[in-house]
Structure 1
């Protein structure tokens, strides 16, 4: 099979975001750990890429590296390239990066209660972004902030603009975070598990809001999530990460219908489905993901948990494929059976 090293945006024009060979190493107490290992992908304007995987697989570290939130921490060493709109972000100074962060690339964090400053009013926090990146005066900033709050569905924005974060519900705080991220109409929005700890109805509203806004603004979106149902409903493409590596990537339809990696198949099998034979317990992946700060498993990182592991797995697999990528030594016939294990097709 042809070898590939990246999940590319299906577009004839240059991608908005092009990540090549990204590596992030954490050094502490004299030891180094690769939290992200040679990850590559690209993203076109207006496209949604979902990154999925268990906690500790490198999703958030990848996102924070794109927006440059770990670049000033001496414990982290970043390698590779992060090209955004033709500029390598890793080559920029911190001063130059501040001109990009918030204006051209924005991020919605996982917990809005800890991301919003409890001592400042909602309107002041959104207004700070506008003051830093635009030439608007105080009155125009307030009008723009009210407009943003209304756009994300905050009722009575003219009065709620002066509320503090604790006066907002969880869903409203997340909407305020989205308004803050959209203040300067960024080209790229990174959403790190934006529906965590929200009820199902609010989750759907937040995701619908993000999807609608990306169409309205033409934004590219990197969405980090644990919920494969979210991926199926909103994403164009999906990248599955394990132990800091991309283990499978492609169009959502292709990956969900015919998973090519046992880890992806295990994640899909764990989803309750109406057409699946009822069993006392849902299938699960045995064991636990490796703690990368304690060392990476030799060869295939998933080998200690994989029911299909065989002799070749003691060697590290490369990323194979063209449009649908996978990092697995299993022969094609064995990988074809993974769709059965995932419950995608009948046995």
Structure 2
């Protein structure tokens, strides 16, 4: 099983977006439908979601006009309104807005776990599980595009979303985990997925990535773990501020779904509902030897853990639960920042073998 791959041939944002929207129309429509169902179950009306999408598009256009153009192009190609594609890109912000209003019920055992190890010699060693709601398991796509000549970006993202996890040929890669903070609000601002996109398009260092994150006003929280050949930093983003968590003296940087910065951790929200994030962080720390291995398959297997007797790093959905409480490890991903490539396995670590990796 592999994820769909699309390579853009267009260089200008509007044309690139239209090309993508045309080729991935059916998948984008299914993705939008899946998110519409998720927002409805979580407690948001269609009119409210539209208002949030329009607001997110306006804020995006002010912060990154070329990316707003690309969203408009995707909508054009897919036969949608731009606000509908903005909704896909702002799904983190919309869920945070619903939660801020007290309507959301987002308990469960899933979410993402990220490991980066910078060895004393040799390439950076990374691996991440990407957990999301199982009815959206067909949303991901592997997308290659060239934002400017000679700079290639490869990203694992959701159809219609401008970026998520990825690498660029400047030697930088990003992992992506959701966070929740007391300052998250319904005052829709720049989507965090667009921050990841600009980092992939523009940054070659952790410091440059952090500057891009600090330039955006946000309404929801996330952590973008940035890695280069000799450096790494978990860029924790929230409306209360941005902090960069460096690797430890051993070169290890681990992140799940709670804030590690002491100041931002005072406003922690995610772990209130999902304390398993701490169990997953401990699991990663306990398996650092495997996560440090040069072999990505060994690193992926070191992530393996199933609840309730072990940390639920590898999530499997309970079909009896409503869709907003069903979690599945949809992908396991390792980055090769030196080559500007990634390897992706469709599913969780419990099914990884050397033969299941998709090279991208």
Return the index of the structure with the highest Cα Rg.
Answer: 1
Range of TM-score over shorter length: under 0.3
